[in-house]
Structure 1
Amino acid sequence: MNSLDILILGLLVITTVYAIVHSNRGNGAFTISISLLSVLVVIQLFWKGFYWHYIPAYLQIGLLIIIVYVKMPSHRKLQHISLGVLLVVAMVPWAIFLPVPVLTKPVGKYAVGTQVFRWVDSTRTEQITQDPFDKRNVIVQAWYPARRDVKGTHSLYLDGLTNLPPKVSVLPSFLMDHYDQIDTYAVANATPAKARKKWPVVLFLPGYGAARAFYTSLAVGLASHGYVVFCLDHPYESAITQLANGKLATTIENFEQGAPDRLGFMKNRLDIRVADVQFVLNQLENKNSFTTTFFTSLDLNRIGIAGHSLGGATGAAAMAHDSRIKAAVNIDGTLYGGLPKSTVHRPFLLVESNKGEIGHFARYEAGNQSLFKHFGGGYRYELEDADHYSFTDVPLLLAPPARLLAGYLLSLGQQSTKTHTATVNLLDAFFDHTLSGNPSRIDAVANRYGSIVRKQITY
């Protein structure tokens, strides 16, 4: 909510309460309040555009205007009830969804720029669609350090905002009508900052079914600390992404009905993701993939990978298969399938939500123990204030009352802003040590937060 929204809703509450409490509603103060409210609504409409959240408020203002000019003393009790009920209804939309959510602000020393690349892997047939001529698309958004004085338009939060399908994942798309106003804290196609040496690279993979957009807070935050972050969308698994030909691709789930636990299905999706990662690495090595000299400043000897949920497990699996990846972070991810037989000692970090609330899932624990064994150990930290969705932007799409309710009743996105900041700081410390060789400060970062606990690794 912006300051104008808060002012309008606050004035609406004050005016409505005044109308209910005082019988002399036609006095000057009441008339001025109604007039000011009407003017502010018109300003909002022309400045920010139509919000569906305001529909009950428009009705409330209309009723208040009628009360100013129409005297109906015999129906005063009905008026009071109508005003009270409509005021509650007018507040409900604002208590559930925000028209323009506010993301977690990056705190690194760099401004951030961003570019989107929509690549086609001509060597792979798309496995998920039914079209035998489909080639695998991989969509990558680069978030990178930019000059502090950079000016320009912030990047769009979500692909396809002007032409969304009726639903994006489980959310009606009309809720996202004004997501083009979300400040991503990154300027589209900004001039990159000059680096003293080449930039370290981090690939970031989203959770199953999630669009890359829902990890903008983490990606921008890490880029602000001096990394080039390539955030992937996996088409037909992502909630929504735009392909190279302009088509909007949404989730397709074609798992076999005879496999209710979907183990084979999830392993197949993880394998597709690993191939996507390897394709992106090939593209980064292919200088012809880019039309800007910025990508010649990437240090391809310092590549890390991170991801959330299935993305975290995929990143770790990708490192096990590809020696170009030097360090991996799994954020709350469950591994499906096996790993190569050879053991390669490489830096590995597991960042997890509070497992005390939901108990350790056997598959989650077994998968991560096998990763620790494969990589020869690593780091493991639990964020006691976080749940599985706290690492995403999704809780920030909700208004504070709904976010609080969802957090404590449904374990959906508790302490998300704090979780984003803590996770970015942990990843920065981990990659600074493992990719750049600087002294380890991971424990020191964790100790800043009373809610981060380092856990023993017992593989």
Structure 2
Amino acid sequence: MRQLLAVAAGMVVLAASACSAPTPPRADAGPPLTPTGPATLPAPTGPHPVGTTALYMKDTSRPDPWDPDADARQLKVTLWYPTEQRDGRRAPYMTTRESELLLKGSGIATAPYDTLSRTRTNAVQDATPVGRRLPLVVLSPGFTKPVSTLTSLAEDLAGRGYVVAGIDHTHESHATTLSDGRVVECLACDSDTDPGFGPRVVQGRAADVSFVLDRLASVREWSGLIDRKKIAMVGQSIGGAAAVAAMVKDQRVRAGIDMDGTTYARIPKGGFTKPFMFIGAPQHLPGGRDTSWDRDWKLLTGWKRWIVMTGADHQSFTDLPLLMGALGMRAAPGALPAARSAELTRAYVAAFLDRHLKSRRQPLLEGPSSRSPEVTFCPATCGTP
């Protein structure tokens, strides 16, 4: 089942994870808007300029899980990191072809298909990284989405002093560019209604994460930059579910965040002590339509938080709300404004990581705040829907 996001052009289908609890369609917000022109992502809030580069990796120890003709798993990994370089060419958000395939695959026809390739980012392309032994955050996107849809969060974390490794899980997105320039499409999309699809995806992504950590540790340029004892994973939708799977499988992943994703990985019945945070839309309130968080909350025996944002929907934890104007789309009435959803997501994710990878006390995570009235801490202070 696909998820629906209500927009000005009626009901535009955004291909999202079949493995995530669906958000019910909201009322039509009115006629289509005129696209506003290229979107600009909000500036990072940290003290450091941000650089970015792409790495291409091939895991010859296993075949591709989706392509029977591929005897190795190829991955594109985008790194964001602190730099001293403030000037230089800003990295593209995605290529023209990637933008076209993503918008076509998502059923979005309210703007030219190259629109997302013209989105303005903040990171300097191939800038020289600075720092030693910085904490590492692995990012995993939602099903059918490239990791570029988490760029705003990645840039903000890099500006705060983290190295961020965003993984494009090949054939699970509408478009992934490989090392030879080929753009491959979503082969997994044909299987998303199969029994056991969710567990299959998260286990495959956990294997991707372990391989990427192995490779980063073996490349001299990056091994000195990264503190291998301070690694966390953050994911949206099925990427959030994959964070649980990766933490269970790989001891190097010390902490994790699931942003609005139904979970599938089996947590040990005896409990799981690694720090973990759920952050999501009201569908994830206790007793709501998605019961996976209720189930797994009981098995999380270490530091944990369960946060719900009023007015959020499934895409609020991605860049998509920030891009709606450029796409000629209008948010539904009552939706959390795009700038505010980005601000809250950045703040709570960074607070979690600062606490667990940098050992810094974070009052933001201690309970409700009058400065963030949209945020509810569950299950103690939230009711049922």
Partner of 1:152: 88
Partner of 2:312: 386
Q: Pick which of 320-329 and 394-403 moved more.
A: 394-403
Q: Secondary structure at the match of 1:123?
A: coil
Partner letter of residue 312 of structure 2?
A
Deviations 1:343-388 (A, max 9, x none): 3311111111123899712xx3234532551443511111113111
- Residue 283 and residue 226 in structure 1: after superposition, are their counterparts in 2 closer, same or farther (change >3 A)? same
- Quote how far apart the aligned CAs of 1:251 are: 1.2
Deviations 1:32-84 (A, max 9, x none): xxxxxxxxxxxxxxxxxxxxxxxxxxxxxxxxxxxxxxxxxxxxxxxxxxxxx
* Structure 2 residue 240 is the aligned partner of structure 1 residue 273: no
Counterpart-to-counterpart distance in 2, 1:252 and 1:368 = 32
* Structure 2 residue 376 is the aligned partner of structure 1 residue 453: yes
- 8 Å Cα contact 1:348/1:375 also seen in 2: no
- Residue 368 and residue 236 in structure 1: after superposition, are their counterparts in 2 closer, same or farther (change >3 A)? farther
Counterpart-to-counterpart distance in 2, 1:304 and 1:123 = 24
Higher RCO, Cα 8 Å, sep 6+? 2
Partner of 2:66: 128
- 8 Å Cα contact 1:263/1:336 also seen in 2: no
Partner of 2:217: 285
- Quote how far apart the aligned CAs of 1:218 are: 1.2
Partner of 1:366: 292
Partner of 2:44: 106
Q: Secondary structure at the match of 2:79?
A: strand
Deviations 1:60-112 (A, max 9, x none): xxxxxxxxxxxxxxxxxxxxxxxxxxxxxxxx87x243431222322111111
Q: Secondary structure at the match of 1:303?
A: strand
- 8 Å Cα contact 2:352/2:365 also seen in 1: no
Q: Which runs of 5+ in 2 are unaligned?
A: 1-30
Counterpart-to-counterpart distance in 2, 1:401 and 1:150 = 29
Counterpart-to-counterpart distance in 2, 1:225 and 1:105 = 12
Deviations 1:400-435 (A, max 9, x none): 89544x4238x6xx4222111111111111111111
Partner of 1:398: 324
- Quote how far apart the aligned CAs of 1:228 are: 0.8
Q: Secondary structure at the match of 1:124?
A: coil
Decide which of 211, 224, 227 is 2:162's aligned counterpart.
Answer: 227
- Residue 254 and residue 198 in structure 1: after superposition, are their counterparts in 2 closer, same or farther (change >3 A)? closer
Decide which of 399, 417, 423 is 2:339's aligned counterpart.
Answer: 417
Decide which of 333, 346, 352 is 1:408's aligned counterpart.
Answer: 333
- 8 Å Cα contact 1:159/1:240 also seen in 2: no
Partner of 2:237: 309
- Residue 106 and residue 321 in structure 1: after superposition, are their counterparts in 2 closer, same or farther (change >3 A)? same
* Structure 2 residue 118 is the aligned partner of structure 1 residue 118: no
Q: Secondary structure at the match of 1:329?
A: strand
- 8 Å Cα contact 1:117/1:140 also seen in 2: yes
- Quote how far apart the aligned CAs of 1:309 are: 0.8
Counterpart-to-counterpart distance in 1, 2:205 and 2:235 = 11
Counterpart-to-counterpart distance in 1, 2:58 and 2:198 = 23
Counterpart-to-counterpart distance in 2, 1:368 and 1:402 = 37
Percent identical residues: 28
Q: Secondary structure at the match of 1:138?
A: strand
Deviations 1:247-266 (A, max 9, x none): 1011123656xx95x44122
- 8 Å Cα contact 1:395/1:403 also seen in 2: no
Q: Secondary structure at the match of 1:420?
A: helix
Counterpart-to-counterpart distance in 2, 1:209 and 1:346 = 28
- Quote how far apart the aligned CAs of 1:160 are: 5.2
Partner of 1:141: 78
Counterpart-to-counterpart distance in 2, 1:97 and 1:357 = 34
Counterpart-to-counterpart distance in 2, 1:368 and 1:200 = 30
Aligned CA RMSD, in angstroms, stands at: 3.0
Q: Secondary structure at the match of 1:101?
A: coil
Q: Secondary structure at the match of 2:172?
A: coil
Decide which of 173, 176, 182 is 1:238's aligned counterpart.
Answer: 173
Partner of 1:349: 277
- 8 Å Cα contact 1:99/1:175 also seen in 2: no
Q: Secondary structure at the match of 1:454?
A: strand
- Quote how far apart the aligned CAs of 1:188 are: 0.4
Counterpart-to-counterpart distance in 2, 1:220 and 1:445 = 26
Q: Secondary structure at the match of 2:306?
A: strand
Counterpart-to-counterpart distance in 2, 1:122 and 1:356 = 39
Q: Which structure: larger Rg?
A: 1
Partner letter of residue 308 of structure 1?
Q
Counterpart-to-counterpart distance in 1, 2:44 and 2:189 = 38
Partner of 1:30: none
Counterpart-to-counterpart distance in 2, 1:326 and 1:358 = 26
Partner letter of residue 229 of structure 1?
V
Partner letter of residue 450 of structure 1?
P
Counterpart-to-counterpart distance in 2, 1:445 and 1:424 = 17
Counterpart-to-counterpart distance in 2, 1:156 and 1:184 = 7
Counterpart-to-counterpart distance in 1, 2:377 and 2:48 = 29
Counterpart-to-counterpart distance in 2, 1:372 and 1:285 = 34
- Residue 141 and residue 151 in structure 1: after superposition, are their counterparts in 2 closer, same or farther (change >3 A)? same
> TM-score scaled by structure 1?
0.69
Q: How many residues align?
A: 349
- Residue 172 and residue 325 in structure 1: after superposition, are their counterparts in 2 closer, same or farther (change >3 A)? same
Q: Secondary structure at the match of 1:232?
A: strand
Counterpart-to-counterpart distance in 2, 1:188 and 1:254 = 31
> TM-score scaled by structure 2?
0.81
Partner of 1:169: 106
